[in-house]
Structure 1
Amino acid sequence: MRLYLLALPPTDSVTEGFLPAAQRLGLDVTVITDHAEPHRRAYAGLAVVPEVVELDPRDFREVISFVSRHHPPAAIFSNSDHLQTQTALAAQYFGLPAKDWKATFRAKNKAQLRRHLAATGLDTVRSAEVAPGNDPAELAELDIPFPCIVKPREGVASEDVALAENLDQLLAAARGIRERRPTGGLVIEEYLEGQLCTLETLGDATTRHVVGGFRTEVLLPTFIEKLLEFVPQHPQPVVDQILAQLDEVGVGLGACHTEFVIQADGRARIIEVNYRAIGDRLDLLLPRLLGIPYFELVLRVHLGEALPADLGIRSGLLTHSFYLCADQAGTLTTAPEATDQVIDGVELSYRPLRAIGETHPLHGTNRDYLGVIETIGPDLDEVRRVAAEFLEAHRWEITP
C-alpha cells in the first residue's frame, strides 16, 4: 500500500513521527514537495528512505494528475497547515478517506473561521478583514476595539502576529505585514484575554476522541509560545464548548490542534483551529506521554480504519516543555548538545533547534527558537524543577 504525503519544508513531525510510523505499518511512501533536496537530506538517516518527488503540493490538480500516473494510492495525507485543503480534495478525488475540504478551508482562513462561528451563534469575535490588494488604511474607518490582534489571514504559528494598543500601532503593524506578504489578506480581531490552552483531538469517520491538551504561556507582543504543560483533562464544560464549535467547523477525521482561551467566567473561546497534529516537537511527546501509537493511529484513520472505542490512553504523566528563544540577531556560539537523561525519576530531553555557528536575524516568531527542554514525570513540581535546573546549568550565547 502506498501513502502519498504532501509537504512543504521538512519537519520533525514527519521525519521523526509520521515516516517511522508509516514504516511500522508497512506502507510505501511518496513525499510530494516543492523542494525535494532538503527532504532527501532530512530522510537520509531513516531506516527506510521514502521516495521524494518534486511537484507543487499547493496545486491539487497537479497532485491528482501525478498520483493517477504513479502507483495506486491507499491514502493521501499531509500534516502541513498550508496543504490541508489540497490534500482533502486530492484524497476525495480518489475516493479515499479525507477531511471535509470546507472544514479545512474554514480552519485555515481565519476570517472565514470568524464569520462561520458567528453565523452559528456559538461565538462572535469582533473582527475585520483587509482583502489582498486593499490598503490597510481602510482600518481607520472601522469600529475596532483596542487592544486588538492583527495577523495574516492564512498565517501559521506566531508569524507576523502583532498586538496593537491603538490605531497608530495597528496601522503600522498592518502595513509591515502587507510589505512582507503583499498578496495575503489580513485579519484584525479583538484581543481575547484568559488562560491560553490547546485541545488535541483525533477522529475517524464517525468518532472523535479528545487525547488531552496543553496549558500555554507566550511572549508578548509577539505571541511566541515559550512554555507548554500537558493537561490530561480540561474542565468538561470547557471541552464541551470547544467540541461544539469544532462540530460546526466540521472537524472530525484525523488530528486537530485547537488553540483557545478560558476566560474568567469559564467561557471557552477559540483563537484558531489547526487541522493537523500539534507541532514544535510536542506531538513527538504524545506516544511517550499517553502510551499510544499516536502517529500510527493518525495514519490508520486516513487508510480508512476505525479507531478503537478505547484508545488505551495512559494517565498519570505530566510534561513541561520550555523553549529557549533568541533575544537578538547574530550567531549562536554556545549551547548544549542534545541529551536524554532520567533525573530523580523524571525523563529529561533537550533538543537543539538551531545549530552552533548558525547566523539568523531576529524573526519575532518560533524561528527564533534555539532549543527545547522537555521533562516528563508524574509530579508537576518535579518536572518543573528538573527543567529549571537544566536551564540554570547551561548557557546559550548569541554573538551579534
Structure 2
Amino acid sequence: MDENDLGAAESRPYPPRRRLHLLALNPTDSVTEGFLPAAARLGLTVTLLTDQPDAHHRAYRRHTAAGGTLPELEIRPCAVRDFREVVNHLAAEPDRPQAVFSNSDHLQTQTALTAAFFDLPGKDWRAALRTKNKAQLRRSLAEAGVDTVWSAELPPGGDPAALLARRPPYPCVVKPREGVASEDVRLVADGPELTAICREIQRRRPGEALVVEEFLEGPLHTLETLGDGRVRHALATFRTELSPPPLFIEERLRLLPEPPRPYTGQVLAQLDALGAGFGACHTEYVIQGDRARLIEVNYRSIGDQCDLVLAELLGIPLFEHILRTHLGEPLPTDLGARTGARARLEYITADRAGRLVAAPSAGVREDGGVRLDYRPLRELGEVHPRYGTNRDFLGVLRATGTDQHRIDRAVTEFLAAHRWEIAP
C-alpha cells in the first residue's frame, strides 16, 4: 500500500479494484464527510487529484481521528485546473480510468472534458461551461427564450467606465464572471459606485473578467436536483436568507416541505436550456410574482453542510447515488425519499476582522423534538480579516425536526445561550 493510503473499506458491491478519480482543490465537508465515506460504502478505491495535497492529508487525518471512515485512498498532486494536465495524468496510468468526478465549482468543466476524452459517464462540458461562466449563462438563457436578464461583461483589465455607456439598470450587481460563494459580489447604486467597485475588485483579482447584471429582487430559493441523463429528481428546496446589502452572505437556510410549484417546473426548464441534467445540481433562483428567475447554477451538490443534512433527512444514500451516476449506473425512478422533515441551518458570521477568542465547542443535543448539531468552522485563536463572504462563517448550527416553530425556537435559544467573541 502506498504511504499516501489513509484507510481501507471492505469491498461490497464492486470488485476491489474499481477506481474513482476524484478532482479537488481545497478540502470540503461535502467530500470529507459525504463523498469519500460513500465511496468506502460502495467498495471503491479512490485516487484524489489535487493542487493542495498537504491540506487534504491534514483534513483526512482529522476525519479518521474523529472516527470517520475513508475508502482506500491515494492523494496525488496535480494541476487540476488544467484539464490537459488531468488527462495526461490519467492517460499515463497503467489501467484505463473507470470514473472521474468532482464536486468543486471550479473543476466541473475540467472533469467533464476529462470524462469525455476517456468516453466515461459525465456532464456535458458545454453545460458545465455555461453554468460556470455567468455571462455565458445569461446569453444561453436569452438565446433559448426562457429568460432575459440585462447583463454586461467587463473583460480582464477592461475600463469600468465603458460600462456606463451600456446604461445599466440601477441598482445592479457586480460579480466575478466565474466566482463562487458571493466572493466579491456587490450591489451598487449608481454609476460612480459601479466604476469604483469594479476597480476595487480588479485590484484584488487581476486577470479576471467581471459581470454586471440586473438586480433580481425577491425571495431567494434553491432547487437541488439529481439526474442520470434519463431521469431527474427534484430533491428539495431551501429558502435562503441573506445579509443586508450591499453584500450577499448566506445567514440561514430553511428546508421547505417540498419543492414549490410552479417554480420548480420553470427552473427545470431553464436547466434543460443550459443542458444541466446529469449528476447533482444546486440552483439558486428568486421568485418574482409567478416567475422563477435564476441567480446562478452550481453544477454540483449544495455545500456548507446542507447536503449532509439533506441526505440524513431524506433517508436516502444521496452521495452514493451521485457517485453511481458517474459510474454509469441508472438512478431509480423512485428514490424512496422520506417527507415531512424540516431543517434550519444557521451560520454564525464574523462581523469584524480579528482573533476568535470565545466560541462554543462542537456538540449535539436533543431539545423538545429538535436535534441541534453545532459545528465550529474556525478554531479558537485563528486570526482572519473580514472577507464579506461565507469565509466569515465561525460555525454552523444544524437544527432538524418535524415542527418548524419548534426548530426556530430552539435555534433562538441556542444563539442566546452562547457567545462568539472576536478580539482585535
TM bucket (normalised to shorter chain) is over 0.9
Aligned partner of 1:277 among 283, 293, 301: 301
* C-alpha distance in structure 2 between counterparts of 1:73 and 1:28, whole Å: 12
Q: Match of 2:410, SS?
A: helix
In structure 2, the residue matched to 1:79 is 103
Shift, 1:30, TM fit: 0.6
In structure 2, the residue matched to 1:355 is 379
* C-alpha distance in structure 2 between counterparts of 1:246 and 1:104, whole Å: 11
* C-alpha distance in structure 1 between counterparts of 2:257 and 2:121, whole Å: 29
Q: Match of 1:50, SS?
A: strand
- AA of the residue aligned to 1:385: R
* C-alpha distance in structure 1 between counterparts of 2:154 and 2:369, whole Å: 52
In structure 2, the residue matched to 1:58 is 81
In structure 1, the residue matched to 2:272 is 247
* C-alpha distance in structure 2 between counterparts of 1:234 and 1:253, whole Å: 19
Shift, 1:90, TM fit: 0.4
* C-alpha distance in structure 2 between counterparts of 1:178 and 1:297, whole Å: 40
* C-alpha distance in structure 1 between counterparts of 2:38 and 2:310, whole Å: 13
Aligned partner of 2:170 among 146, 170, 177: 146
Question: TM-score with structure 2 length normalisation?
Answer: 0.93
Q: Match of 1:63, SS?
A: helix
Shift, 1:132, TM fit: 1.4
Q: Does 1:261 align with 2:278?
A: no
In structure 2, the residue matched to 1:336 is 360
Q: Match of 1:192, SS?
A: coil
1:123-173 deviation line (CA, Å, top 9, x unaligned): 000111101121112112111000000000000011000000111111111
Percent of counterpart pairs with the same letter? Answer: 58
Q: Match of 2:251, SS?
A: strand
* C-alpha distance in structure 1 between counterparts of 2:330 and 2:307, whole Å: 21
In structure 1, the residue matched to 2:193 is 169
1:11-65 deviation line (CA, Å, top 9, x unaligned): 1110111000000000000110012111111112254362110010111111111
In structure 2, the residue matched to 1:2 is 19
Shift, 1:376, TM fit: 0.4
* C-alpha distance in structure 1 between counterparts of 2:311 and 2:216, whole Å: 32
In structure 2, the residue matched to 1:26 is 43
In structure 1, the residue matched to 2:330 is 306
- AA of the residue aligned to 1:260: Y
Contact 1:43–1:50 (8 Å) recurs in 2: no
Shift, 1:74, TM fit: 2.0
In structure 1, the residue matched to 2:57 is 40
Contact 1:230–1:320 (8 Å) recurs in 2: yes
Contact 2:172–2:189 (8 Å) recurs in 1: yes
In structure 2, the residue matched to 1:392 is 416
Structure 2 segments unaligned to the other structure (5+ residues): 1-17
* C-alpha distance in structure 2 between counterparts of 1:146 and 1:295, whole Å: 41
In structure 2, the residue matched to 1:235 is 260
In structure 2, the residue matched to 1:185 is 209
Shift, 1:360, TM fit: 0.2
Aligned partner of 1:205 among 213, 216, 229: 229
In structure 1, the residue matched to 2:91 is 68
- AA of the residue aligned to 2:337: I
* C-alpha distance in structure 2 between counterparts of 1:42 and 1:256, whole Å: 25
Contact 2:235–2:259 (8 Å) recurs in 1: no
- AA of the residue aligned to 2:358: T
- AA of the residue aligned to 1:39: H
- AA of the residue aligned to 1:19: L
Q: Does 1:382 align with 2:399?
A: no
Contact 1:2–1:29 (8 Å) recurs in 2: yes
Which 4+ residue blocks in structure 1 deviate beyond 6 angstroms? none
Mean CA deviation greater in 64-73 or 313-322:
64-73
In structure 1, the residue matched to 2:8 is none
Shift, 1:106, TM fit: 0.4
* C-alpha distance in structure 2 between counterparts of 1:72 and 1:339, whole Å: 44
In structure 2, the residue matched to 1:17 is 34
Shift, 1:69, TM fit: 2.1
Q: Match of 2:76, SS?
A: strand
- AA of the residue aligned to 1:244: A
* C-alpha distance in structure 2 between counterparts of 1:281 and 1:154, whole Å: 22
Q: Does 1:224 align with 2:249?
A: yes
- AA of the residue aligned to 1:160: D
Structure 1 segments unaligned to the other structure (5+ residues): none
Question: TM-score with structure 1 length normalisation?
Answer: 0.98
Mean CA deviation greater in 22-31 or 130-139:
130-139
Mean CA deviation greater in 101-110 or 228-237:
228-237
Matches within 5 A, 1:92-107: 92-107=116-131
Q: Does 1:122 align with 2:146?
A: yes
* C-alpha distance in structure 2 between counterparts of 1:167 and 1:114, whole Å: 22
* C-alpha distance in structure 2 between counterparts of 1:245 and 1:360, whole Å: 39
The RMSD of aligned alpha carbons is 0.9
Contact 1:198–1:213 (8 Å) recurs in 2: yes
Contact 1:211–1:232 (8 Å) recurs in 2: no
* C-alpha distance in structure 2 between counterparts of 1:34 and 1:148, whole Å: 35
Contact 1:98–1:302 (8 Å) recurs in 2: yes
Q: Match of 2:344, SS?
A: strand
- AA of the residue aligned to 2:49: I
In structure 1, the residue matched to 2:6 is none
- How many aligned positions are there? 399
* C-alpha distance in structure 1 between counterparts of 2:260 and 2:350, whole Å: 35
* C-alpha distance in structure 2 between counterparts of 1:283 and 1:324, whole Å: 18
Mean CA deviation greater in 229-238 or 369-378:
229-238
Shift, 1:375, TM fit: 0.5
In structure 1, the residue matched to 2:12 is none
In structure 2, the residue matched to 1:317 is 341
